[in-house]
Amino acid sequence: MSKDLEPLSIQKMPGYREAAYNAIKESILSGYFKYGEALVEEEIAAKLQVSRTPVREALAILQHEQLIAPRRGRGFHVRQMIREEFIELFVANEVVEPYLARLAALHATPEQIQDMKDTVISGRQCAMDKNVPGLLRAGRDFHRAMGNAAGNKVLTRFVIANEERTDLYLLNNGSIIDSKNLSQSNQEHEAIIHAIAQRDPEAAARLVIHHSQSVRDRLTIFFAERPL
């Protein structure tokens, strides 16, 4: 569900910055802030009940992550992504994630495998609740957990940053997507986890590739009329 901004309760300045960053980002990725919607520093600081400095710093990070962009006049707005950029980000992750799945099958600890399973449980609940932002978040959490199990922090950050932007694109095309055509990912994630738990790197990579193609099939309107 979309999440508004609420007052923060932090004891020191770096903590305020991180908390402001997380709160604003969550509101963007939950769909509370829409494409083109203004993000005004003073207004956000008032809602979070913090000074403008940590908000300014948080917005600078989000701009660097290309989730927001400067707005004419003052402040920022949620950055609008074109379809071609969405496809390029999706394809970039298609290249990287089979490699991470192979590594995860070789190195995942029992605790890391459980972390992946927990994301599927969360995703199923979101599907039952028809919570599209929650489903997308559970998907990101799964891919983050798989990347953590693979032990490659750089590629994991790359994948999640791309997923945040593609998920934002999907959220802002909400009339096209729904919980039904996203919930199939839970089953596909479960199959990937099983291959990882069985220490089968080739099966894990193959299932990740299948998952990507399945997403393409379910969201075909976004990929039509474009060479793969």
Asked whether residue 7 is domain-assigned, the answer is no
- Mean pLDDT score of the chain, rounded to an integer? 90
Is the domain of 157 the same as that of 56?
A: no
Which tens digit of pLDDT belongs to each residue from 149-189? 999 999 999 999 999 999 999 988 866 677 777 788 999 99
Q: Is 172 helix (H, G, I), strand (E, B) or coil?
A: coil
Confidence (pLDDT) at 228: 46
Which residue do the tokens 């932002």 mark? 133
Asked whether residue 3 is domain-assigned, the answer is no
- Domain holding 47, by residue range, is 13-78
Is the domain of 135 the same as that of 60?
A: no
Q: Does 105 or 6 have the greater pLDDT score?
A: 105
Which band of pLDDT confidence, cut at 50, 70 and 90, is reported for residue 227?
Answer: very low
Is the domain of 156 the same as that of 214?
A: yes
Is the domain of 129 the same as that of 180?
A: yes
Domain-terminating residue out of 28, 58, 78: 78
Q: How many distinct structural domains can be found in the chain?
A: 2
Which tens digit of pLDDT belongs to each residue from 103-150? 999 999 999 999 999 999 999 999 999 899 999 999 999 999 999 999
CA–CA gap between residue 140 and residue 146 (Å, rounded): 10
Mean pLDDT along residues 94-102: 98
Task: Give the residue from 40, 64, 69, 37 showing the smallest Cα distance to 52.
Answer: 40
pLDDT of 64 higher than 90: yes
Instruction: Report whether 120 contacts 186 (CB < 8 A).
Output: yes
